[in-house]
Amino acid sequence: MKKIIVGLFLLFSVAVISSCVPSKPVKEESVIPSNRLIKKLEANRRRIKTFEGTGSLKIETPQLDITGTFSVEIRKPDSMKISFFGPFGIDMAQLLLTQNDFVFYDVMKNQIYKGKNDDRILKEVFKVDMTFDNLIDAFSGAVNLTKELRNIPEKYEQTEDEFFLTYIDGNRETNYVVRKEDLALLSFHLNNRETSDVYSAKYLKFKRYEDVEIPRIIVVEKSGENQKVNIEYRKMKINEPLSPLTLDLPEDAKVIEW
């Protein structure tokens, strides 16, 4: 079970930089400036306040080849809950994250891990070097483009159907492909030339919620390590009332403080 969760969060670190919430259709505009495009994408990301989703997950690595189901509930900007299920819907594990704390319940071992939520904890426990805000964006199909609002792309090209943007920040080169018709992000590519790390993602089968296009399928790959994750949402709910997130923990579970 530990390998499954570690593998899941390692690969979701890619999604942190990857999944994106697009904007309103721009059919009437044959040309749109890059700064305006980025503002539209980022404005629509911020419109998503709550997110609920259920679906399937497939992880392929040299060590793992697993398929399962999961559900996620997100209240921006302060909390998220993720549940993982095995065959026949058996509850395998639950994770609750807030801006200050985390609780991870391993159902099979009846063990609870809890502690303060900071970047160190996320890296040590889940082997992911990422922030709480990044994790929320990843599961809700978004990418934080705040830093791009102040930058000018190295390259900006347009075809009849798509926008292509390239940003360079030191040794990092980031590429986005955006569909012109509705500003859906179709693919993402991050190349770190210093470490030779390459992440790529594709987004498919979009669903429109409140004029925002959200991908129902996300395929993320990490080259060089033969790692691939395929996320497919069957159901999604956007900006619907969501109760405070909690875990129903048994009293006899072993508690491990981090």
Residue 187, token pair as written in the block = 């693919």
Query: Residue 165 has what pLDDT?
Result: 95
CA distance readout (Å), 153 to 118, 156, 189, 196:
31, 6, 14, 22
Q: Return the domain boundaries, the chain.
A: 2-241
Query: Residue 86 has what pLDDT?
Result: 82
- Predicted confidence (pLDDT) per residue in 91-150, tens digit: 888 999 998 899 999 999 999 999 888 777 766 655 454 678 877 887 887 878 888 899
Task: For the chain, list residues with pLDDT below 50.
Answer: 1-2, 4-6, 8-28, 127, 129
**Distance of alpha carbon 18 from alpha carbon 140, whole angstroms:** 11
End-to-end CA distance of the chain: 19
Which class is 2-241 in CATH? Answer: mainly beta
Query: Residue 30 has what pLDDT?
Result: 57
Angle between helices 2-18 and 132-139 (to 10 degrees): 90
**Distance of alpha carbon 31 from alpha carbon 47, whole angstroms:** 24
Please state whether 210 falls in left (phi above 0), alpha (psi between -120 and 50) or beta.
Answer: left
- The residue whose two tokens read 């306040």 is 49
**Distance of alpha carbon 28 from alpha carbon 54, whole angstroms:** 35
* DSSP structural state of residue 229: E
Residue 203, token pair as written in the block = 């987004």
Query: Residue 110 has what pLDDT?
Result: 96
Using alpha carbons, select from 128, 120, 126 the residue that is nearest to residue 93: 126
| Torsion, CA 104, CA 129, CA 75, CA 52, rounded to 10 | -80
Query: Residue 221 has what pLDDT?
Result: 83
Q: Is the pTM of this model over 0.95?
A: no
Query: Residue 188 has what pLDDT?
Result: 85
Query: Residue 208 has what pLDDT?
Result: 92
**Residue 81: partners with Cβ closer than 8 Å, 6 or more residues away:** 72, 73, 74, 94, 95, 96, 97, 245, 246, 247
Query: Residue 137 has what pLDDT?
Result: 82
